[in-house]
Amino acid sequence: MTKSKKTTQDAFNETATSDTSNTSKKTALTFTSDKGASRSTWIAGILVLVTIGWMGSGLVLPSDDTPQTVTRADIKPVAVAVTTSVAETVTQFYQAEGQALPDRDTMMLAETSGDIAEVLVSKGDNVQAGDVIARFDPTNNNADANRAAQDLAVAEREFDNAQALLERGVATTDRVAQARAALASAQAQVTAASQSANALTITAPFAGRIETLDLDAGEYVAAGTQVGRLVDITPLTVAIQVPQQSLTLLSAGRPAQVQFITGEARDGVVTFVGTSASSETRTFLAEIEVDNADGAIPAGISAEVVIPTGEANAHFLSPSIVSLNTEGALGVKTVNSDNIVEFFPIQVVKAQIDGIWVTGLPDSVDVITVGQGFVSAGETVASSVGEPS
């Protein structure tokens, strides 16, 4: 029994000693790699290499080694529509805006001073040359005329007496000279009184219309006062301003067509072309005379003047086919006999509601009417008459 307990105690002690020894002794921890994980890493690397090589080769789908030839279709020429245009003789015109002016326009003046005795016309009346407009009260003038006549009679007697005495040797030549001077002065007074009598009547200097009249009977008017305005509109004169570059196109005697703003149209003739430019506008004055015997067209209204300046061979075209080249020049695109596009600069010589007349093209030419906006000069096109297919 004692032996058994000793054995158990000894075993316990040996075990405790062994655990103490194991605790004090350090043991390194070692991990061993999984063989399955290493295999997955190698497979992924192989797949990446295969993918990179496949992408670098440029092949997406497997194909045979036979080289393939790519054939590009020829570009077709642009289809355009053309119309043959033949030049015609057309009259060229110069157009300008102007203003209708009276043929003559003047202010009537009082030539003497005095009271107005009577006024014989009214504003708006038509008068003839020499018609009496108004008369002054002649009282003062009659008195001046009588006094001048009496002074003239006395001077004549004095001169006759002095002349007779000189012939008899009684008077001297100085007395005769004085009498002659007095006679001349008296004659001048009579002449002045006569002229004053003529000035008592205000008359129309030419035929026309009384545009204004500032006179009333009994009114005092001083010499030199403007009493009315007389206007002659038969014929009318239409004045226009001509720029420097167009001056050589006009000359006196050329016919003209005048369209007034009232709708009235009349024939006219160029009567004057200026030779001195305005310092402000650098333009020249030109005048067109228009018959207005009935006085239906008033002065001062606006008018459009058309003057033929010559003839030219021109083509009649629609404005829609006109275009600009790369330099900004106005022109028309055409097609020659080789179906090559050509560009011709043009000048507009006449414009109408339905089209324009232009110069700068050959006498006969195929003008592109449809598709001109899609082609350029030097380009080959497929042309057809009318609408392109």
| Residue pair 265/278 in contact by the 8 Å Cβ criterion | no
The 10 Å Cβ neighbour count of residue 101 is: 16
Domain 138-199 is found in CATH 1.10.20: no
Q: Answer positive or negative: Cα dihedral of 44, 45, 50, 54.
A: positive
pTM to 2 decimal places? 0.58
Q: Token pair for residue 359?
A: 């110069």
The token duo for 377 is 């000069």
Rounded distance, CA 343 to CA 360, Å? 10
- The C-alpha atoms of residue 278 and residue 257 are separated, in whole angstroms, by 25
For the chain, 389 residues long, the average pLDDT of each consecutive 10-residue run is 45 47 48 58 76 64 56 76 91 91 92 91 92 90 84 85 79 80 86 83 92 92 93 93 91 94 93 92 94 90 93 91 88 92 91 89 92 87 70
336-340 long-range CB contacts below 8 Å, 24 or more apart?
A: 336/366, 338/380, 339/77, 339/380, 339/381, 339/382, 339/383, 340/378, 340/379, 340/380, 340/381
Interior angle at CA 351, CA 363 and CA 91, nearest 5 = 60
Residues 6+ apart with CB under 8 A from 274: 242, 284, 285, 286
Q: Answer yes or no: are the C-beta atoms of 44 and 347 closer than 8 Å.
A: no
- Sorted by sequence, the CB contacts under 8 Å of residue 332 that are 6+ apart come out as 317, 321, 322, 323, 343, 344, 346, 358, 361, 367, 368
Return the SS3 of 273: strand
Sheet bearing 114-119, strands edge to edge: 201-203, 132-136, 114-119, 220-221
CA distances from 85 to 267, 320, 349, 389 (A): 33, 15, 16, 21
Q: Looking at the domain that runs over 111-135+203-224, which CATH code has it been given?
A: 2.40.50.100
State whether CATH 2.40.420.20 applies to domain 80-92+312-385: yes
> Do the domains at 95-100+229-307 and 138-199 have one common CATH topology?
no
Q: Are 280 and 321 in contact (CB under 8 A)?
A: no
Residue-level pLDDT at 255: 95
Tokens read off for 139: 């009282």
Which ranges of the chain does DSSP label H, i.e. alpha helix?
2-24, 35-57, 139-168, 173-199
CATH 2.120.10.30 fits 95-100+229-307, yes or no: no
Residue 90 Cα distances to 43, 170, 253, 337, angstroms: 93, 96, 21, 27
The whole-number pLDDT of residue 15 equals: 47
Q: Where are the domains of the chain?
A: 80-92+312-385, 95-100+229-307, 111-135+203-224, 138-199
Cis bond upstream, residue 62 (ω within 30): no
Q: What is residue 307's predicted lDDT score, i.e. its pLDDT?
A: 94
In DSSP terms, 266 is beta-bridged to: 258
Residue 133 exposure: Cα atoms within 13 Å on the Cβ side: 34
Element (H or E) spanning 208, and its range?
A: strand 208-213
